[in-house]
C-alpha cells in the first residue's frame, strides 16, 4: 500500500488516521510526563521553551498542574473547570514540584488544589474540578464565528515568505518569538494584519490552533493540552488597542477554564479571543475554543498585568 505524503497526513483528522501514520506529539514527552515523587507529589525537571521568555510559560505550569491533579482521581472523571492564580514568577532553569491536595471526592465530582512550587514557594495556586459524564436535556450554545477553514489559510512560515521576504531577520525573529517554536503548536491566523501591522486594533482575534503530533485517547490529556494552548495570545489581545504605547511588562495574573464537551487538541480548533476592558494596569480577556464542526468545547478567562515602558 502506498504511504501517505506528509502534506496529506498533515490535513487528515487524527481520528481518521491509521496507527502507522501517527507520530507522538512532542507535548507528551516534553510537558505532560511528570515524575511521581510521593503520594500527591509530582515533579517536572525540564521545561520546554515554546515561547521565548525569561520566565516560565504560564500555560505550561497550568497544564502540568492539571496533569498532576488528574493522576489522583478515578479514571472515569474528567476535568470540567479550573481556576488559578500566578502568584510568583517561575524560573525556567529549576524544577517545579506539584503538590496536590484532595479537597473532596463525591459520586459525581472531585476537587483538587494544586500548588506549583519552586524554592519552597508557590508560583501558582490552582483549584481543579472533575466531573463524571452525565446526560442532560439542557443543551445550548452560541454559534461559531463564520471563518475560512485552516486548510485555506497560510502558515506562519508562509506568511513570512509572502509578506516579509525582504524584512530583516530581527523582524522575522520577533514574529516567531510571539508565535512560538512551531514544534509543539501550529497556528493559522484569520487576520494576517494582526501580525504584520503595529497600529492599534480592536481587541478581537481569531485563529486556528492544534497540537502537532498525536496525543492518544485520554480525554484529560487533551484538556491539559488545551490549557497549554489557551495561555498563548490571550494576554496580548488586551494590548491590541494600545499598540501606540510602548509595552514594558505584560504577564498573566490569573487564568480560568471551563470544559463543555469532548474534543481532540491534536485536531484543528478555532480560538476566538476578545478583551472587553483594560484599566488600572490590568487587561481582561475571554476566549472560546471551537471544533471544526462548530461545537463550543471550552471557555477561558484571564486577567493580565500591563505596564508601559518607562
Q: Quick check: is 231 catalytic?
A: yes
Strands (E), 153-227: 185-189, 204-211
Listed residue (275, 286, 278) closest to 306, CA to CA:
278
Q: How far apart are CA 306 and CA 191, in angstroms?
A: 24
- DSSP codes, 217-237: S-HHHHHHHHHHHHTSSHHHH
Q: How far apart are CA 58 and CA 24, in angstroms?
A: 23
Let me know: does 20 contact 4? Beta carbons within 8 Å: no
Of 252, 256, 275, 285, catalytic: 252
Cell of 157: 512560515
Q: How far apart are CA 238 and CA 190, in angstroms?
A: 18
Residues paired with residue 102 on neighbouring β-strands, in sequence order = 112
Q: Quick check: is 302 catalytic?
A: yes
Of 231, 232, 238, 275, catalytic: 231
18 Cβ contact partners less than 8 Å away, ≥ 6 residues apart: none
What is the edge-to-edge ordering of all strands in the sheet holding 204-211? Answer: 35-38, 41-44, 96-105, 109-118, 121-132, 77-86, 247-259, 296-308, 282-291, 269-279, 204-211, 185-189
Burial profile 15-41: b = 16 or more Cβ within 10 angstroms, e = fewer: eeeeeeeeeebbbbebbbebeeeeebe
Strands (E), the chain: 35-38, 41-44, 77-86, 96-105, 109-118, 121-132, 185-189, 204-211, 247-259, 269-279, 282-291, 296-308
Catalytic residues: 231, 252, 302
Amino acid at each position: 500500500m502506498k504511504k501517505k505524503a506528509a502534506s496529506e497526513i498533515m490535513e487528515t483528522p487524527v481520528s481518521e488516521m491509521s496507527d502507522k501514520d501517527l507520530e507522538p506529539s512532542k507535548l507528551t514527552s516534553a510537558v505532560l510526563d511528570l515524575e511521581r515523587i510521593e503520594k500527591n507529589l509530582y515533579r517536572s525537571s525540564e521545561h520546554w521553551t515554546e515561547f521565548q521568555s525569561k520566565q516560565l510559560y504560564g500555560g505550561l505550569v497550568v497544564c502540568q498542574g492539571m496533569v498532576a491533579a488528574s493522576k489522583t482521581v478515578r479514571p472515569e472523571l474528567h476535568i470540567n473547570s479550573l481556576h488559578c492564580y500566578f502568584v510568583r514568577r517561575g524560573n525556567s532553569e529549576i524544577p517545579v514540584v506539584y503538590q496536590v491536595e484532595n479537597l473532596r471526592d463525591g459520586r459525581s465530582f472531585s476537587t483538587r488544589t494544586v500548588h506549583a512550587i519552586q524554592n519552597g514557594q508557590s508560583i501558582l495556586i490552582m483549584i481543579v474540578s472533575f466531573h463524571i459524564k452525565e446526560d442532560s436535556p439542557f443543551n445550548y450554545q452560541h454559534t461559531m464565528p463564520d471563518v475560512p477553514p485552516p486548510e485555506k489559510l497560510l502558515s506562519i512560515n508562509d506568511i513570512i515568505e509572502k509578506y516579509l521576504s525582504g524584512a530583516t531577520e530581527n523582524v522575522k525573529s520577533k514574529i516567531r518569538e510571539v508565535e512560538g517554536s512551531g514544534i509543539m503548536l501550529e497556528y493559522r491566523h484569520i487576520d494576517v494584519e494582526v501580525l504584520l501591522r503595529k497600529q492599534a486594533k480592536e481587541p478581537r482575534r481569531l485563529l486556528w490552533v492544534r497540537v502537532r503530533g498525536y496525543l492518544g485517547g485520554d480525554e484529560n490529556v487533551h484538556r491539559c493540552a488545551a490549557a497549554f494552548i489557551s495561555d498563548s495570545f490571550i494576554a496580548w489581545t488586551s494590548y491590541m488597542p494600545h499598540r501606540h504605547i510602548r509595552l514594558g511588562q505584560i504577564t498573566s495574573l490569573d487564568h480560568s477554564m471551563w470544559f463543555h464537551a469532548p474534543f481532540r487538541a491534536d485536531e484543528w480548533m478555532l480560538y476566538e479571543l476578545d478583551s472587553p476592558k483594560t484599566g488600572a494596569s490590568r487587561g481582561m480577556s475571554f476566549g472560546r475554543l471551537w471544533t471544526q464542526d462548530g461545537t463550543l468545547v471550552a471557555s477561558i478567562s484571564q486577567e493580565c498585568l500591563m505596564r508601559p515602558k518607562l
